[in-house]
Amino acid sequence: MSGSIQRVARAVADLVDGNAIVLVGCGSTDPDGYLVVAAENASTSALDFMVRHTSGFICAAVTDDACARIDLPPMAGTRPTPGDDYTVAVDAAGVSTGISAKDRAWTLRQIADPFSTPSGFTRPGHVIPIRAHSDGVLGRRRSAEAVIDLMRAAGLREVGALAALVSVADPTGIADSTESLAFADAHQLNSISVQDIVNYRRSTEIHVRQTFRTLRNTPCGTVEALGYHSDVTNADYIAYSSGDPSTLSRARVHARFETDFAPHAPSVDQAEPDITDALVDRDGLIVIARRANDADDMEQSARPNCSFHNRYGERIADIAQILRAREVLEPRLVNPPPGLFEVWSTLASPAVGKAAPQCVSPTSPTRG
């Protein structure tokens, strides 16, 4: 995930400077490559470059607020689908034909202008807004949502221009991800993927919330059980700890997916050995990822495609966020599930202000 954060940082710097970037989309569900510029910084030269290397179908990723402000109803004949949510096309009032790079740059800047009103546009036009999901890429993983999230990360007005790159090998088709990345290299543009933006948001935001707290009396003493729910994965978790909560800063952390429906029985005598050891240790934290379905609980190495891998990775991100919520600053990870060490290392970067974790074996000393 650290690579994703670096790519987002480079992309937002370019957008602030008015430069174009290349966005790689979501494979079969979305054209694979887009040119993107910030609408508020859209210049004639930027739009000329965009039109020259794309199909010329210039879209504007917009929010619900922008749609309400300038009256952008759904495009006639569109139906609710998992795809893009197009609105009626517009031109800024006062442009000439509306199709030139100069006219479309002006239209984009007017869409991004927080003081623009419906009367400032004519319909239909030559810029096609796409209403983005209110949760960005965490609500729908498509190009418009990625563009809005980038604008937010950059501190820019939440409107961005995007157009699909045309394939050089087949000018009748859209560039795939390989061609799009090659285009970025050839034109010295920074590139980023939708998944990079997902990783960035999962690393810099908290998406888990506490749902319950209970205390259990066990042979090891009082054990605290906190429930968490992820608003991204819709998954539930339980975090167990014993001893003084202030000692959790350097907790010995066991994180695991449920292998059955009760690996964390209330009696320590019935619990699995690593859970017992952690509770007896009095400075341990156990995070249980509740069983949801077989796809969620598959091992990372067994995942057959990108969507399953991403689902697993998001549940790992949930666990890392729970550690942050519990203020575990320097976790000692015991046989962590694949990916957790890397995700926490990203959360522990200097930008976040946490120390890097340790990986220890179950027999390692419990005091470090």
Can you say whether residue 118 is alpha, beta or left, with left for phi > 0 and alpha for psi between -120 and 50 degrees?
A: alpha
56 is a domain residue: yes
Whether 1 shows a pLDDT value over 90: the answer reads no
Q: Give the per-residue pLDDT at 363.
A: 43
Q: Give the per-residue pLDDT at 61.
A: 98
365 is a domain residue: no
Report field, pTM of the whole predicted structure over 0.85: no
Give Cα 37 to chain centroid, integer Å. 20
Min mean pLDDT across 48-57, 161-170, 265-274 is at: 265-274
In the structure, what pLDDT confidence band is assigned to residue 145 with cuts at 50, 70 and 90? Answer: very high
197 is a domain residue: yes
Q: Give the per-residue pLDDT at 286.
A: 86
Same domain, 190 and 212: no
Task: Check: CB of residue 332 under 8 Å from CB of residue 285.
Answer: no
Same domain, 132 and 70: yes
Same domain, 189 and 237: no
367 is a domain residue: no
Same domain, 100 and 236: no
Whose structure tokens read 């066991």?
254
Same domain, 133 and 23: yes
366 is a domain residue: no
282 is a domain residue: yes
Same domain, 187 and 239: no
297 is a domain residue: yes
**Which ranges of 176-247 does DSSP label H, i.e. alpha helix?**
177-186, 194-204
Q: Give the per-residue pLDDT at 355.
A: 45
Q: Give the per-residue pLDDT at 334.
A: 86
Same domain, 59 and 135: yes
Task: Check: CB of residue 41 under 8 Å from CB of residue 161.
Answer: no
Helix (H) or strand (E) holding 346: helix 340-347
Same domain, 93 and 169: yes
Using the 3D structure, point to which of 175, 202, 229 is the last residue of a domain. Answer: 202
Task: Check: CB of residue 42 under 8 Å from CB of residue 156.
Answer: no
Whether 124 shows a pLDDT value over 80: the answer reads yes
In the structure, what pLDDT confidence band is assigned to residue 33 with cuts at 50, 70 and 90? Answer: very high
**What is the b/e burial string over 92-108, where b = at least 16 CB atoms within 10 angstroms of the residue's CB?**
beebeebbbbebbbbbb
Same domain, 169 and 274: no
Q: Give the per-residue pLDDT at 275.
A: 63
**What is the b/e burial string over 198-235, where b = at least 16 CB atoms within 10 angstroms of the residue's CB?**
bbbbbbbeebbeeeeeeebebebeebebbebbbebbeb
Helix (H) or strand (E) holding 127: strand 121-131
Percent of the chain with pLDDT over 90: 55
Whether 310 shows a pLDDT value over 90: the answer reads no
Which DSSP string corresponds to 5-58? Answer: HHHHHHHHHHHHTT--EEEE--GGGS-SEEEEEEGGG--HHHHHHHHHHB-S--
In the structure, what pLDDT confidence band is assigned to residue 131 with cuts at 50, 70 and 90? Answer: very high
Whether 142 shows a pLDDT value over 50: the answer reads yes
Domain range for residue 109? 2-202
Please choose, from the candidates 171, 200, 181, the residue with its C-alpha nearest in 3D space to the C-alpha of residue 33. 181
Q: Give the per-residue pLDDT at 91.
A: 98
Using the 3D structure, point to which of 202, 237, 270 is the last residue of a domain. Answer: 202
Same domain, 220 and 340: yes
104 is a domain residue: yes
Which DSSP string corresponds to 283-309? Answer: SEEEEEE----TTTTS-GGG--SHHHH
In the structure, what pLDDT confidence band is assigned to residue 344 with cuts at 50, 70 and 90? Answer: confident
Alpha carbons 234 and 208: distance in angstroms, whole number: 9
* Rounded mean pLDDT, 13-25: 95
Using the 3D structure, point to which of 149, 176, 202 is the last residue of a domain. Answer: 202
Same domain, 39 and 69: yes
Same domain, 146 and 226: no
CATH of the domain at 217: 3.40.50.10990
Min mean pLDDT across 34-43, 87-96, 134-143, 247-256 is at: 247-256
Q: How many domains does the chain have?
A: 2
CATH of the domain at 67: 3.90.870.10
In the structure, what pLDDT confidence band is assigned to residue 356 with cuts at 50, 70 and 90? Answer: very low
Whether 308 shows a pLDDT value over 80: the answer reads no
Angle 10-12-13 from CA coordinates, rounded to 5°: 65
In the structure, what pLDDT confidence band is assigned to residue 299 with cuts at 50, 70 and 90? Answer: very low
Min mean pLDDT across 65-69, 106-110, 344-348 is at: 344-348
Percent of the chain with pLDDT over 70: 78
